[in-house]
Amino acid sequence: MRYLASALSDNTTHDGIGTFEMSLGLGTTGNKGARANQVVRHIFEQHDTDALVIELLNYLFVENTYANTSAENASYEQLRVNVLDPRGVTLTDNGYALSDGRDIDSLERISRPAVSRNSAQP
């Protein structure tokens, strides 16, 4: 979880975290690191964790036109070495996919109501 939280904190802005967390029906508070930890903890408490992790990876490293997935990006490199490669998560033409080939289009995603950025939960 720490590598995902680090990647989220290091590879987006406060507004970027806010945009992603709205899709989860979540509102976080604090600095970027604290907010990233809250988002990742929330993801791992859900029934559709696989889909949410793939969605997060796609948000950070596919949809973001400024994404840096080179070895120069320390948080991405740690994520790749410690999480993605050992679990067989790969970047495909359709974004990230699990080792069994399931990608965002084939993973079940539970629908959640969006929250506004001003309704952060404690």
pLDDT tens for 96-120 read 999 999 898 888 766 655 555 454 4
Q: Would you say residue 103 lies in a domain?
A: no
pTM: 0.84
- On whether the CB atoms of residues 28 and 17 are closer than 8 A, the answer is yes
State the amino acid at position 62 in one-letter form: V
pLDDT for 42 beyond 60: yes
Q: Would you say residue 102 lies in a domain?
A: no
Of the two residues 119 and 92, the one the predictor is more confident about is 92
Tell me the average pLDDT across 53-76: 91
Q: Would you say residue 58 lies in a domain?
A: yes
Q: Percentage of residues in the chain with pLDDT exceeding 90?
A: 65
pLDDT for 89 beyond 50: yes
The per-residue DSSP string of 27-43 comes to ---SSHHHHHHHHHHHH
The boundaries of the domain holding residue 78 are: 2-97
Q: What is the pLDDT of residue 121?
A: 46
H or E segment to which residue 21 belongs? helix 14-22
State the residue for tokens 């001003």.
118
Q: Would you say residue 118 lies in a domain?
A: no
Running DSSP on this structure, what letter comes out for residue 81? I
Q: Would you say residue 107 lies in a domain?
A: no
Could you give the CA distance from residue 66 to residue 56 in angstroms, rounded to a whole number?
15
Domain count, the chain: 1
